[in-house]
Structure 1
Amino acid sequence: MQEIQQLLKVLQNVSSKTIVDASLIKNKGLEGLLLLGVTQGEFKNDKEAACKLYGSDQSDVRYKMLKHRVKKKLYNKLLTIEINSNLTALQKEMECVRLLNIAKVLFRQLEFPLSISIANKVISISQEYEFNEYLLQAYEIELAAYTNQGSLKSFNETREKYAKCLSLVNLEKEAIDLHQLAKAHLRSTVKVRKTLLKELPRIIARLEGILSEAYSFEIFLSYYRTSILYYELIGEFLQIINITKDAANKVQEGKINPFRFDLRFNTFNLIYAHLRTKSYSTGLMYASDFYSLFDPTTKNWFAYMENYFLLALHAKQYELASVLLHRVRSNSSYNIINNDAKERWQLYTAYLYFVEPSFPVLEGFNYQKFITSITEYSKDKQGFNVAILILQFLYYLKKGDTEGLLYRIESLKKYILTHLKDTFSLRSKLFLKLLMLTVTEDYDEESCRIKGAKHYQKLIETPTPGDAYAEIEIVPYEHLWELILESMPK
């Protein structure tokens, strides 16, 4: 069932037509009923589908054969699908693949002039979109055809083009390999990401070297993405602002292929970098200006909205944050995002509730239930553990539950000793110490200000670490501390 669901999802994402073409479900047969049941959410698993269609379970041979036929048709549909006009580069890439297959069939049937004619179409598309690997394959077909025709002049001209293209493709493959090496390590554990930091400068230096040898879209893209990975990890977000702005300018100047460059990815990183450099007003301006780039029915929109929402929170524009949260929670496509993303939005909602619980969007939010049910994230993945611990502490602080807070203090002390030993955890460590001070000073605002001044000043002076280590500050610690002090008795 999962495979069918995934195939339907891909078809929905790339097709210019409805999620399932009428040709697949036009009849009232079992194949059509299975597809309709999956697309309409009637069948969530094999057990439900087999029971409805055959009155048996998923081990029924008839049901297994039905699934096999449906999957075969869906895979075939991927080969002939009419791709959405918004995905121009993918359209052209699939066109090249189709034409190359036709040219190879014609060549095998000794129709050399026809195979050359089709290969020329591939060459034209590939040059416009910088599909150099397909360009190389088209040259290979032409060379083989000219060889069999004995067309020496055409053979020599194409051979020269082929040699240049081969050299370029080899450099592209090296650049892509280096980027993939970096990205694969980044997707692993925190420990592996730390190890990667030592290797990234060498990888980037080599990518710069390749870029100086030959300039192509694939080589630039590998250098661009790997550089962003590196500067995110070490916390040099000003560099990312410069990289993304430079890339956008190069697209406008025609130095980067506009058909293939992903402006949404570039914009996402530009806005995130403004969040991390605390350039909130500029970041909010960009977030508003580029909002229309993102389709609200996609996961990318929800990811974009996370940065937009956090910018508003960090800028203390809480009214705007509530408006953005309403857009997210009222979006009919909310269920397409994964559980981790949903948990993050719940966490964001809880923080906004702590800041200002009177916003209309928070009316149905059960703050107490969320706090008591929330579980910590994996200890191997730093990111939201501290945010959860802080939120739980704030809940008991607002209640004035001294007994609950004393228990939390012991938990915080253990967490600091176990997980916040490194220098990059200093901001989180300092803030947790400030939290503990509220209880030891018996919720006295003046006493907390005086005794916490040293930690607070150090907190202000300590920059946020890079993404290799960072715990997310949903509301900046400095803002949270002020909110906590303001809520205490004078």
Structure 2
Amino acid sequence: MQEIEQLINVLQVISSKNIQSFFSHKSKSLEGEFIENVTQGNFKTDTEAAYKLYGTDQSDVRFKMLKHRVKKKLHNALITADITTGRLPLRREVECEKLLLLSKILLKQKEFSIVLGLCKKIKTLALEFEFNDLVLNALEIELECLTSQGGLKLYKNSRDEFLKYSEIVSLEKEAASLFQLSMVHLKSTVKNRKLYLGELPNLITRLRTIWDETKTFSCFYYFYRTSMLFYELIGNFGEIIKITEEAESLVRANKINAQRFETNLNAYMLIYAHLRTKEFSNGLKYASDFYNLFDSNTKNWFAYMENYFLLAVHAKNYELASVLLHRVRSNTSYNIITKAAAERWQLYTAYLYFIDSSYSILEGFNYQKFITSITEYSKDKQGFNVAILILQFLYFLQKGDTEGLLYRIESLKKYILTHLKDSFSLRSKLFLKLLMLTVTENYDAASCRLKGAKHYQKLIETPAPGDAYAEIEIVPYEHLWELILDAMPA
């Protein structure tokens, strides 16, 4: 059932055509009924579908044959569908692929004149979008035609082009391979990422050389993405700002293909880099300027809004943060985001509630219920464990629950010894020690400020680490400490 759901989803994404139009028009078609119920979410499992359609279980051969026919028709629909949604490059790439398939069929029938016309069309389309591998494929077919037809001059011209694009595509494949190798390592465990980081500078140098040699979009893209990943992981967000601004400049100067360049990704990373370099004023300006680049019905919009919201919080513009949170929570597409993303937004909401619970968007938020529901967070919350521990501590601190706080102090001590042993965890370790001080100093603000001065100063002097290892500071620790002290008796 899952495969059929995925195929339907892709077909709906790429084509505005009604899904039922790809199936039988008979009013009582089982295929149509099956598709309709899957699309509407009525059939979640094979068992439900088989019982509804045949009054039996999923082992029924009739149901198995129905699923086979539906899958086959979905495959054919995906191959033949006119792509009417999404970005233009994808539509043109698929168009070229279909023309290449048609050319190969006609080549086998020795319809050389038709094939040459198709190859010319493929090259025109592919060159506009710098699909150099497709240009190469068209030239290969063209050479077969000219070989059979004769005509030495045309053949030599085509062969020269073929050799030129063979070199280009070879370098693009090398760049793709290097990028893929990096991605696989960097999506692995923290340990593997740390080990691989040392290899990335040389790899990036090679990618830059390939781009300088070819000047193709694909080679630029692999250099750009790998560089961004590297500088994000080592925490050099100033370099990311340079890269994103350089990319915008290259697009404006027509030095990279604007039709294939991911303006949204570049905008997202530019905003994120400003957040991490603490350039909040410029970051908020960019975030406002780029806001309309993102469709509010997509997951990308919600991801963008996370950075926008955090920029507002880190800039202490809590009014703006509440407005952005309202946009997110009132968005009718909120249910499309992943479970992890929804949990992050819950955390953001809880932190804003701690800062100031008077904002209208927080009226229906059950702060106490949320705190008690996050007592068991697992490894899949990597990057937010400290944020959750802090939030729980703050809740009991607000209540003045000394018994609950003493229990959590022991938990914090164990967490520090087990998980915050590396230098990149220093900020979290320092802040947790400050939190514990609030209890040992009996909630006395002056005493906490005095005895915590050394830790607080070190916290200010310690920069946030790169994303390979960093725990997320939803509210900067320095800001949180001041909020805590302000809430205590003087």
What TM bracket, shorter-length normalisation? over 0.9
2:387 aligned with 1:387: yes
The aligned runs of 1:76-155 (5 Å cut-off) are 76-155=76-155
Contact 1:25 1:36 in 2 (8 A): no
Indicate how the Cα distance of structure 1 residues 380 and 296 shifts in structure 2: closer, same or farther if over 3 A, else same: closer
Partner in structure 1 of residue 187 of structure 2: 187
Q: Comparing 263-272 with 368-377, which one deviates more in the overlay?
A: 368-377
Q: Are the aligned partners of 1:200 and 1:230 in contact in 2 as well (CA < 8 Å)?
A: yes
Is the partner of 1:65 in helix, strand or coil?
helix
Aligned pairs (5 A) from 1:339-378: 339-375=339-375, 377-378=377-378
CA contact (8 A) 2:179 2:222 kept: yes
- The one-letter code sitting in structure 1 at the alignment partner of 2:199 is E
CA shift, 1:251, in A, is 0.8
Correspondence for 1:439: 439
Aligned mates of 1:25, 1:384 — CA distance in 2: 50
Q: How does 1:22-33 map to 2 (within 5 A)?
A: 22-24=21-23, 26=25, 27-33=27-33
Give CA deviations for 1:146-196 in whole Å, capped at 9, x if unaligned.
111112111111111100100000000000111111111111111111011
State the partner residue of 2:232. Answer: 232
Preserved CA contact (<8 Å) 2:299 2:336: yes
Rounded to whole Å, the distance in 2 between the matches of 1:329 and 1:34 is 34
Instruction: After TM superposition, give the deviation of residue 52 of structure 1 in Å.
Output: 2.1
Q: Hey, what does 1:264 align to over in structure 2? A: 264
Task: State the partner residue of 1:242.
Answer: 242
Q: Which amino acid aligns with 2:432?
A: L
Letter in 2 for 1:239: E
Return the alpha-carbon distance in structure 2 between the equivalents of residues 64 and 488 of structure 1: 67
8 Å CA contact 2:274–2:282 kept in 1: the answer is yes
- Larger mean CA deviation between 21-30 and 72-81 belongs to 21-30
- Pairwise mapping of residues 203-242 of structure 1 onto structure 2 (< 5 A)? 203-242=203-242
Whole-angstrom distance in 1 between the partners of 2:298 and 2:62: 36
Q: What residue in structure 2 maps to residue 488 of structure 1?
A: 488
Deviation track 1:447-470 (CA, whole Å, cap 9, x = no partner) reads 001111111111111100001111
Equivalent in the alignment of 1:308: 308
CA 1:469 to 1:366, structure 2 compared with 1: closer, same or farther past 3 Å?
Answer: same
- Aligned partners of 2:247, 2:375: CA distance in 1, in Å? 40
CA contact (8 A) 2:38 2:44 kept: yes
Change (3 A) 1:232 1:384: same
CA contact (8 A) 2:13 2:85 kept: no
- Given that 2:50 and 2:56 are in contact with CA atoms closer than 8 Å, whether structure 1 keeps it comes out as yes
Deviations 1:354-404 (A, max 9, x none): 111121211221111111111555448741111111111111111111111
Tell me if the contact between 1:224 and 1:243 (Cα under 8 Å) persists in the aligned partners: yes
> Cα–Cα, structure 1 residues 329 and 57, in superposed 2: closer, same or farther, change >3 Å?
farther
What SS class does the counterpart of residue 479 from structure 1 fall into? helix
Q: d(CA) in 1 for partners of 2:332 and 2:23?
A: 26
Aligned partners of 1:231 and 1:287: how far apart in 2? Answer: 21
Q: Which amino acid in 2 is paired with 1:236?
A: N
Query: 1:60: how far off?
Result: 2.5
TM-score, length basis structure 2: 0.97
Of 211-220 and 447-456, deviating more is 211-220
- Kept in 1: contact 2:13–2:86 (CA 8 A): no
Name stretches of at least 5 consecutive residues in structure 2 with no aligned partner.
none
Tell me by how many angstroms 1:32 deviates.
Answer: 1.2
Q: Structure 1 CA distance, aligned partners of 2:59 and 2:366?
A: 42
* 3-state secondary structure, aligned to 2:31: helix
Structure 1 Cα separation of the partners of residues 17 and 55 of structure 2: 33
Paired amino acid for 1:272: Y
Q: CA 1:41 to 1:356, structure 2 compared with 1: closer, same or farther past 3 Å? A: same
The question of 1:396 aligning with 2:396 is answered yes
Superposed displacement of residue 274, structure 1? 0.7
Instruction: Determine if contact 1:382/1:470 at 8 Å carries over to the other structure.
Output: no
CA distance in 1, matches of 2:438, 2:14: 54
Change (3 A) 1:193 1:61: same
Aligned amino acid, residue 304 of structure 1: Y
Query: Any conservation in 2 of the 1:445–1:488 contact (CA below 8 Å)?
Result: yes
Gap change, CA 1:96 and 1:255, over 3 Å in 2: same
Partner SS, residue 174 of structure 2 = helix
Query: Aligned AA for 2:255?
Result: K
User: 1:452 is matched with which residue?
Assistant: 452
1:57 and 1:324 map into 2 onto residues whose CA distance is 48
- 1:318 is the counterpart of 2:318: yes
The 2-side partners of 1:187 and 1:175 are apart by 18
In structure 2, distance between residues paired with 1:239 and 1:75: 44
For residues 323 and 334 of structure 1, what CA distance do their matches in structure 2 show? Answer: 16
C-alpha spacing 1:143/1:375, structure 2 compared with 1 (3 Å): farther
Alpha carbons 1:25, 1:35 under 8 Å: kept: no
Residue in structure 2 matched with residue 172 of structure 1 by the alignment: 172
Alignment check: 8 A CA contact 2:119 2:138 kept: yes
Please list every run of 5 or more consecutive structure 1 residues that lacks an aligned counterpart in the other structure. Answer: none
1:1-12 pair list within 5 angstroms: 1-12=1-12
Measure, in 2, the Cα distance between the counterparts of 1:382 and 1:428. Answer: 14
* Length-normalised TM-score, structure 1: 0.97
2-11 or 229-238: which moved more? 2-11
Supply the distance in 2 between the matched residues of 1:340 and 1:45 (Cα, whole angstroms): 24
Map Cα deviations across residues 329-371 of structure 1 (whole Å, 9 max, x no partner): 1212112111111111111111111111121211221111111
Q: Secondary structure at the match of 2:452?
A: helix
Partner Cα distance (1:378, 1:171) in 2: 43
CA contact (8 A) 2:146 2:154 kept: yes
Would the alpha carbon gap of residues 44 and 363 (structure 1) be closer, same or farther in structure 2, given more than 3 Å must change?
farther
Q: Give the AA of the match of 1:185.
A: H
